[in-house]
Amino acid sequence: MTTSQAILPGLTRTDTLPEALLQVEARDLAALMPGPTLFSFEGHDPRPLFVSVLLHGNEDTGWDAIRSVLRHYQSRRLPRSLMVFVGNIEAAAANMRTLPHQVDYNRAWPGTRYSDSAEAALMREVVEAVAACNPFASIDVHNNTGSNPHYGCVNRLDEPTLHLASLFSRVIVYFTEPVGVQSSALSEFCPAVTLECGKPGIAAGAEHAADLIRAALAMSAFPDHPVPDRDIDILQTYAILKVPADASFSFDGSEADFRFRDDLDHLNFSELTKGEVLGSLGGEGTRRLSLETQASAAVAGATHAPILGYEAGKIRLLERAIPAMLSLDPNAVRLDCLGYLMRRIDRSGRVHV
């Protein structure tokens, strides 16, 4: 294949894909691509499916999934037009989520707190290009570092969005923070879902994401009927747990301000009861985790009561919760968070008691 492309400030746009790219692992893309690139491929239905991959450089499942899909359609016409944004290839070359000089590529979309950054300008350009094509749906593919099932994340609870997410998993996580994420920006124009495909480098995650992409390409429209309640389990994130930037932490019992249990990530998606111990305090025992609560959860019926307690040096939950993305990866904890706390809700957003 030959490449025909127009380079816009910060973004390369092209309607063809060099065959060599389909043979290349995510870490090697920077040697063959000029930078973040938006590919556009025509299909029978002109309304495109938009897919973003490698917004985090060390999460390669999305690239592996889209390679699988494009190989499948190499000798046939796509049933629907497809736009693919390949993001942080510079970080992928270093096998890092985000490089030190960068704004996180999945915190820089419209609505971001970093609106003056070069990354935010890039994402605005991508959104404008996709929105101009009247997108059918949007899929953003990610990995995580802890022990988690595959699940979909959404920013709206309308039926088309729930239909799209339920094609990937019956477990659907509704969230409003962090801001500046791809799915929130694209949900202004079409149903949008973020796929959490487990740890990177596992073929099953890429196959699962590719299955959803192929299914969305084959859809002519979203069903008119609601998704049956039995087919979905909706959870809402209501708090983000963070370690203060100047605090130390460990997972092996070694001395630190926070000494978390060594199986912390195995608590993900478990129904934890009041009193569950997440770890203990070290040092002088005076440090506290940063806990960011989400306003939308309070509107939906969450309380303002304390969520964590520190009696006798133990870090305990003071209420029932379902954690997600609890991680043992120090880099993930520093760059993003320790994890999220969730509650089960119905499709109207009301918390289950």
pLDDT more than 90, % of the chain: 88
- Tokens 């939950």 correspond to what residue? 317
Average pLDDT score over residue span 127-133: 98
Neighbours of 141 (CB within 10 A): 30
C-alpha 9/C-alpha 18 separation (Å) is: 22
Average pLDDT score over residue span 121-125: 97
**Cβ 269 vs Cβ 322: under 8 Å:** yes
Tokens of 63: 């690239």
Size of the chain in residues? 353
**Cβ 152 vs Cβ 168: under 8 Å:** yes
Q: Looking at per-residue confidence, does 244 or 352 come out higher? A: 244
- DSSP state at residue 300: T
**pLDDT surpassing 70 at residue 301:** no
Q: What is the pLDDT of residue 348?
A: 87
Phi first, then psi: what are they for 321, rounded to 5°? Answer: -160, 160
Tokens of 158: 């309308």
Q: Looking at per-residue confidence, does 292 or 264 come out higher? A: 264
Q: What CATH architecture applies to the domain 5-231?
A: 3-Layer(aba) Sandwich (3.40)
Average pLDDT score over residue span 104-119: 97
**CATH 3.40.630.10 domain extents, the chain:** 5-231
C-alpha 332/C-alpha 260 separation (Å) is: 15
Q: Angle 85-86-92 (CA atoms, 0-180°, nearest 5)?
A: 155
Closest CA to 43 of 69, 81, 14: 81
Per-position DSSP letters for 204-264, written without gaps between them: HHHHHHHHHHHHHHH-SS--SSPPPGGG-EEEEEEEEEE--TT--EESSS-SSSEEE-TTG
Q: What is the pLDDT of residue 349?
A: 87
- Tokens 């400030």 correspond to what residue? 9
Q: What is the pLDDT of residue 353?
A: 58
Q: What is the pLDDT of residue 304?
A: 55
**Cβ 238 vs Cβ 176: under 8 Å:** no
Q: What is the pLDDT of residue 10?
A: 79
Q: What is the pLDDT of residue 299?
A: 40
- DSSP state at residue 19: G
- Tokens 């195995």 correspond to what residue? 266
Q: What is the pLDDT of residue 2?
A: 34
**pLDDT surpassing 90 at residue 303:** no
The H-or-E segment that residue 31 falls in is none
Tokens of 279: 């770890």
What pLDDT, in 10s, does the model give residues 165-219? 999 999 999 999 999 999 999 999 999 999 999 999 999 999 999 999 999 999 9
Measure the CA dihedral 186/192/195/196, to 10°. 70
Segment among 58-72, 96-110, 293-307, 308-322 with least mean pLDDT: 293-307
C-alpha 162/C-alpha 159 separation (Å) is: 5
Q: What is the pLDDT of residue 146?
A: 85
Per-position DSSP letters for 93-126, written without gaps between them: HTT-SS-TTSPPTTS-STT-S-TTSHHHHHHHHH
Average pLDDT score over residue span 5-14: 67
Segment among 72-81, 295-304, 316-325 with least mean pLDDT: 295-304
Q: What is the pLDDT of residue 300?
A: 41
Where residue 132 falls among pLDDT bands split at 50, 70, 90? very high
pLDDT more than 70, % of the chain: 94
**pLDDT surpassing 90 at residue 83:** yes
Instruction: Report the b/e string of 214-230 with b at 16+ CB within 10 A.
Output: bebbebeebeeeebeee
Average pLDDT score over residue span 283-296: 86
Where residue 8 falls among pLDDT bands split at 50, 70, 90? very low
Burial (CB count within 10 angstroms: exposed 0-12, middle 13-18, buried 19+), residue 295: exposed
Tokens of 47: 């309304």
What pLDDT, in 10s, does the model give residues 22-62? 999 999 999 999 999 999 999 999 999 999 999 999 999 99
Average pLDDT score over residue span 251-263: 97
Where residue 5 falls among pLDDT bands split at 50, 70, 90? very low
Closest CA to 200 of 68, 84, 57: 57
